[in-house]
Structure formats: C-alpha cells, structure tokens
Amino acid sequence: MWKEYTKGYLKNNRTAAVSMMTASFVSALLLSLLSATFYNLWKYEVERLTAKGDTYALQAMYLTRGANDTAPRLLFPLFLLIMGLASFSLVIIIHNVFAVSMNARIHQFGIFSSIGATPKQIRTCLFQEAVSVCAAPVLAGTLFGIAGAFGVTKWSNVIGAGIENRREEVFGYHPLILVVTLLITGVTIGASVWLPAWKLSRMTPLDAIKNAGDGQLKRRRHSYVLSLFFGVEGELAGNALKVQRKALRTASLSLFLSFMAFTLMQCFFSLSAISTRETYFEKYQDTWDIMVTVKDEEIGAFKETGQMRALPGAEDVAVYQKAAAKCRLSEEGLSEEMVANGGFSRASEKDVTREGESFLVNAPIVILDDESFLRYCEQIGIALRLDGAVILNRIRDVTNPDFRHPQYMPYLKESGETVLLGLAGTKNAGTVTAATEVGETKLAGAENVGMVNVGTEDIATEDGRTEKAGTKDVTVELPVLAYTQEVPRLREEYATLDYYELVHFLPFSLWKEYREQIAGTEEEDTYIRVLGREGVTVGELNDLQRQIEAVAANRYQIESENRIRSYEENDTKLQGMMAVFGGFCMLLAVIGISNMFTNTLGFVRLRKREIARYLSVGMKPEEIRKMFCIEAFVIAGKPVLFTLPVALLAVGAMLKACFMEPAEFLAEAPLRPIIVFMLAVWAAVGFSYYLGWKKIKEIRLAEVLRDDTMI
C-alpha cells in the first residue's frame, strides 16, 4: 500500500520530486568533492615528503606516533572539522526541501492516521520515498564530485606550473573514500529527512486533518516598506513571501551565505594582495632581484663571489651571514627620545632582561663580505674602512602599533666610551662580552661586564694556566666605526618581532679575527643578494638566475628565488585560492537558485487558488506580474541588504588590523566581481520567477474556482 502511495504521489507531484532530487544531488556533489580533494591533498603531501625523505613528517601524515610521540596530527582532524561543518550546513539547508513536500501532505497523513496508520508506518513511508527519490541523484552527485576533484587537480597543476620546485600532482582515488563519501551523504540526507518526518508523525490525526494547508496567513501583517514603495502589489507580495517563508528558507539562507562569503572572500584576498605587495615586493623591489641561500656553508667558505659579480646583468652582489648576539646597556646611555618614550618599561622579559641597573638586549650581527661593507660605508657617508663595525642606532616607537608606517627614534646617546657586545652562541650554553673602542665618535650605554658559559674550548689565563671556556669571562675588543639609522640594501627585516634589538654590521675580514674565540654564534647558511639593472624584466632575471645556479650549484647546495617570479607565483596562489573559495560560494548559490526554480515551477500547484482570488476581485494580469517582480526583487535583494553592514564591519576591522587607509583599499576594491556575482544571482532569481509567471498567466479562472481541491 505504502509503495503504491509513494509511486502515485511522486508521479503526480514531479516538482516536489525534482526539488528533493536536486538537493540530494548537490549535497552528494559537495561532499564527494571535499572528500576527493582532501584525499588528493593528503596524497600529494605524502609523495612530496617521501621524495624529501622526511620520515618524521610522514609518520604524522599516516597518523602514527613520531619519535617523541608529539607528531602533529592536523590533517585528519581538519578533514573531520570541514566535513562536519559541511554536513551540518547541508542538513540545515536541504532538510527544508523535504519538509515542504511532507508538510504539503499533512491533511492526507491525518486521514491515514485516522484509519489506523501508525507514526512508525508514516515515517517508514517517508523514508522509503526519500530513498527512491535520492538514490540515483546521490550516485550521480558522487561521480560528478570525483570528476570535479580531478578537474581541481589538473587546474592546480596548470596554475602551479611556474612555481619553482613544485611536484606535479597526480590524481588518485581510493575505494575507501567512496565508502566514506556515500556514508556521510546518507547520514546527511537521512538527518534532513528524519527531522520533518519525526515532527509530522507526532501530530495527532485531528490536528493533521484540521490543517488544510491553504497557504494563507493566520494573522495578516502589513508590509509597510513594500506598500509604501509599490502600493497594493507590494502589500500582496509581502503577504505572499510570508506565506512562503518556509518554502523559501533554503533559498534565502543559501543566497545570503553565498553572497556574504563571496564578498568577504574577495575583500580579504584583495586586501591581502595589497598588503603583501606594499610591505614586501614594492618595499624591497629596489633592494633585491635574486636571493640565493647557500645551505650549511659559512661566508668564508663561499669562493664564487667574484664570478657572480662578473655575470652580465648582475649590477650589485652582496654576500652575508647572520649571527646571534647580546648587548648589555645602561639606562643612562639611552637617547633622550628613548627615555621619554618609556625606555625599556614596555619591553617583555623575553626581549630585554634586567640585571641590576643594566639591561641585556638582543644584538643581531650581520656579517657582510668586504666589498659589500665598503659600499655600505659609502652609503652612510663614512670613511671606507674594514677595521670596525657599524651599529644601527634606531628603535621603533613602540607606542605606535602601526607596523605599516613605523616611526623611529635614536636608540642610544651619541656619546660615550664603549659598547659591550655579548655574543650569544647557538652551540654554546651562554654568552660572551666584547669591549669596543669607539675613538672620536663614541657610543654610550654599555658596561664592561663579562658573561660566562661560552663554550668548551680551552682559553689562556693571565698566569699561564688554561681553563675551560665558561669558567672565566671572555672579552673581545671590537672597534666601532660609526652609528647610523640607515640599513644596507639587503632583503632583511630588523627589529620587527623584538623592537629592542641593537643590530651590528661587520665586515668579514673583521669577523674572522674573532670567530675562533666566539665559535658557534653564526647561523649555518650564507645568503647572496643579487640586484639587476633598473627596470629588469622577468626574462632577464630568469637568465641571470640560471647563470647564478650554474656557478654555485656544482659545489654547494643552494636555493634561489626570483623577485618577479615570486610576485607572480604569489599572485597565482591568491588567484587559485580565490577560485577555490569562489567555487564553494557559487555552489551555495546554486543550492539556493535550484530551490528557487523548484519553488517557482510549482506555482501552478501551489498558487492557483491565490491567483484566482486576485483575478476574481478585479486584479489584472499586469498587476500580478508586478507582484511577482516585487517578490523576486525582495528575495534577491535581501542577501545584498544583509551582507552590506556585515561586509563593512568586517572590512573595517581588517583595515584597522593591517593599518591600511580606506581610500587605499577602495582604489583596488573588488567591486567588479562582487557586482557580477550579485547580478548573476539576481538574473537567476528573476528568470525562475519568469518561468513561474509563464505558467500562472495561462490560468483560467472558471476551472480553478470549480476545482476545490487546489491548495
């Protein structure tokens, strides 16, 4: 009996069947696409790490325990989170499709209950109906999702073709993924069916029979805004929308979420692109064109600097290395501006350590090759010498959080006798101090206090004995040539995380005199900055990069980076992420639009009696058409109306967080894609109502009034 009833209902109510099939297809498509895409992302990472030989990371990828039982297990929980959110969102969105179909038959199920049908039988009937309708769409959606994931893989290979050292992604699909996808889809659709079926089965026969489902408001409410702007048609459109609010809930929610997500996504990525371009690529476009990292080699071991400087197109080449350091300062030695700004009162303990009346601060050392150091001396206007260091005597105003437009002040006083530099080794347990003779230009703020625990090498004592380093203070005399607020032309950030760093620049010829005493303080890698001619093209940089790699790659393990290609790759990555997120936003919009089409295509069945009443009191077809246009305008306009304040608040918060002026963002605001997306949604909603109007205008009043079974 129930099977025959289900067949008869679906045969005579194709619109409801199409609506349920569409919802099932879209949910299966989305979940299958997410599952397959995530699996290929995981597979790609495994292949990349296998080629790299990173066993520890591979253990984390396979969810096994690492060597110290702390392997990061982020991918699988992330997958569960994304799938959970997607499933929950789909349950919220598509369960209303089934609820509309079931609620339209409350009167019928009330009659069945009155003749002996149990709630369990009614629920079973509804579940059988859902299975018969959704089985084929679920399989089709799953297959289309797999095809979509295949397309995403191919597309990612296309956009990532220019990225250096990127492995090509090979599409794969495991049968277990199919099982998981079908299981999650089944649970999602089952939950969507169960909610309205449970509610319907709990109604008493009397309540169900009394519910005629005539699609009328229990209490009339005036639509003041619509009636003010559109008159009687606006009032009628407002009442019609209130009657259909449950049927249109899926469409309204989907369109709102899609438009809001698309708008915020466009604004976020546009702002990110502007910020990255200004704070990185444009900021350093006159500083570097090619960066080379020589792995596990100190600056003195690199012998090819001359060959690189001789390459055609290499206008300036700088080779440098970095080292860690500590410096002890006294408050009396700080500049007047620094003291007025609070001195070290705002510094955290990890950046500045107070020891009695003095302060221990980080003092990074940048070791330049001799020729680059002489060019730096020429840049800051001092004598060209290699027998001393240059100190970056500036500090950021820590009271101003605007990192985009930092304000600097002098760090130390421009007088004094010595600067003590404590070199903090990366291999030793502690630090060393170094006394510095300044000469005529003196720099104050330091005390001649030694630090202990330097290393393990033997050192000579004054009485001729030897002791292990770390048992006696070690000092190194380091001449200082000058202080300055200018930095050399390197792609380096200074005092960005630790505002209280006191940076020192040394020539290599001076550094090698002390390296044996302070061994282990420098980093293991050497960096090469190459600057090409002004207005260099990407083709010229590609050629220069290949020549540099040919010079260095035979003897050293290197990594090289091209400024223009890096900018293009960054832009490609942003465009790729925007396309992925935009695709999900469009998928949400498709859910809403499909619900709109199924609803409007059901106009003949759902709204015949309503339209007949309007015609019987003298309304003209043109006035009814105007009413439909108002309904379409409201449905399509609400997502925009609700999104605008949210988007303005979100963009305002993002601008405040990155200290960007609104006018700067508005000059490159993504208005065009947002407007195109909005117009596409409006066009789809308008077209769905046009199709509904084409069916409504063919109504014959006498036939509708004679058929009292119409709702």
Q: What is the pLDDT of residues 431-454, one digit of tens each?
A: 333 333 333 333 333 333 233 233
pLDDT (tens digit, 9 = 90+) per residue, 640-670? 898 889 889 989 998 888 888 888 899 889 9
Structure tokens that stand for 563 in this block: 């400024």
Residues 6+ apart with CB under 8 A from 185: 27, 28, 31, 32, 138, 141, 142
Q: Decide which of 605 and 511 is more confident.
A: 511
Distances, alpha carbon 600 to alpha carbons 16, 350, 604, 607, in Å? 11, 65, 9, 10
pLDDT at 546: 92
pLDDT at 110: 67
| 38-60 average pLDDT score | 68
**C-alpha–C-alpha distance, residues 102 and 125, integer Å:** 11
pLDDT at 370: 95
Where would I find the H helices in 244-359? 249-276, 305-309, 336-340
pLDDT at 460: 43
Let me know: does 35 contact 120? Beta carbons within 8 Å: no
| 369-377 average pLDDT score | 95
Let me know: does 379 contact 394? Beta carbons within 8 Å: no
CA end-to-end span of the chain: 25
Residue 385 banded pLDDT, cuts 50, 70, 90? very high
- DSSP 8-state secondary structure symbol assigned to residue 525: -
pLDDT at 457: 41
Q: Indicate if the pLDDT at residue 486 is higher than 90.
A: yes
Let me know: does 279 contact 666? Beta carbons within 8 Å: no
Of 364, 365, 367, 285, nearest to 319 (Cα)?
Answer: 367
| 553-579 average pLDDT score | 83
Residue 175 banded pLDDT, cuts 50, 70, 90? confident
Q: Indicate if the pLDDT at residue 66 is higher than 60.
A: no
pLDDT at 466: 41
pLDDT (tens digit, 9 = 90+) per residue, 254-264? 788 888 888 98
Q: Minimum mean pLDDT among 156-160, 605-609, 611-615: which range?
A: 605-609
Where would I find the H helices in 515-562? 538-552
**C-alpha–C-alpha distance, residues 159 and 570, integer Å:** 11
Which amino acid belongs to residue 373?
F
| 242-262 average pLDDT score | 79
| 552-567 average pLDDT score | 87
Q: Decide which of 702 and 345 is more confident.
A: 345
Q: Indicate if the pLDDT at residue 86 is higher than 80.
A: no
pLDDT at 367: 94
Of the ranges 73-87, 272-286, 550-564, the best mean pLDDT one: 550-564
Q: For residue 356, with 0-12 CB atoms within 10 Å meaning exposed, 13-18 middle and 19 or more buried, which class applies? A: exposed
Structure tokens that stand for 54 in this block: 């990173």
Structure tokens that stand for 33 in this block: 């696409």
Length of the chain counted residue by residue: 711
For the chain, what percent of residues have pLDDT higher than 90? Answer: 16
For the chain, what percent of residues have pLDDT higher than 70? Answer: 70
Which amino acid belongs to residue 381?
G
Residue 233 banded pLDDT, cuts 50, 70, 90? confident
Residue 356 banded pLDDT, cuts 50, 70, 90? confident
Q: Decide which of 11 and 356 is more confident.
A: 356
pLDDT at 99: 66
Q: Indicate if the pLDDT at residue 603 is higher than 70.
A: no
Q: For residue 336, with 0-12 CB atoms within 10 Å meaning exposed, 13-18 middle and 19 or more buried, which class applies? A: exposed
Q: Decide which of 90 and 627 is more confident.
A: 627
**C-alpha–C-alpha distance, residues 380 and 632, integer Å:** 68
| 410-416 average pLDDT score | 75
Q: For residue 548, with 0-12 CB atoms within 10 Å meaning exposed, 13-18 middle and 19 or more buried, which class applies? A: buried
Structure tokens that stand for 160 in this block: 């990532």
| 143-164 average pLDDT score | 80
Phi-psi region of 540 (alpha: psi -120 to 50; beta: other; left: phi over 0): alpha
**C-alpha–C-alpha distance, residues 686 and 90, integer Å:** 25
Of 471, 508, 498, nearest to 327 (Cα)?
Answer: 498
| 628-633 average pLDDT score | 88
Structure tokens that stand for 419 in this block: 């600067």
The dihedral built from the CA positions of residue 202, 208, 210 and 216, taken in this order, carries a sign that is positive
Q: Indicate if the pLDDT at residue 211 is higher than 60.
A: no
**C-alpha–C-alpha distance, residues 561 and 52, integer Å:** 19
Round the average pLDDT of the chain to a whole number and report it: 76
pLDDT at 88: 66
Q: For residue 84, with 0-12 CB atoms within 10 Å meaning exposed, 13-18 middle and 19 or more buried, which class applies? A: exposed
Q: Indicate if the pLDDT at residue 425 is higher than 70.
A: no
pLDDT at 381: 93
pLDDT at 378: 94
**C-alpha–C-alpha distance, residues 249 and 454, integer Å:** 71
Pairing of strands 358-362, 352-355: antiparallel
| 13-28 average pLDDT score | 74
Distance of CA 93 to the CA centre of its chain: 25
Q: Indicate if the pLDDT at residue 561 is higher than 70.
A: yes
Q: Indicate if the pLDDT at residue 137 is higher than 60.
A: yes
| 84-102 average pLDDT score | 64
| 85-102 average pLDDT score | 64
Q: Minimum mean pLDDT among 248-257, 372-381, 652-661: which range?
A: 248-257
**Could you tell me what percentage of the chain is helix, strand and coil, using 3-state DSSP and rounding each to the nearest 5?**
55, 10, 35
Let me know: does 434 contact 423? Beta carbons within 8 Å: yes
| 474-498 average pLDDT score | 84
Question: Phi and psi for 125 in degrees, rounded to 5?
Answer: -60, -45
- HSE at residue 516, side-chain half, CA atoms within 13 A, is 3
Let me know: does 532 contact 544? Beta carbons within 8 Å: yes
pLDDT at 616: 77
pLDDT (tens digit, 9 = 90+) per residue, 274-307? 888 887 777 777 888 999 999 988 898 899 999 9
Let me know: does 525 contact 519? Beta carbons within 8 Å: no
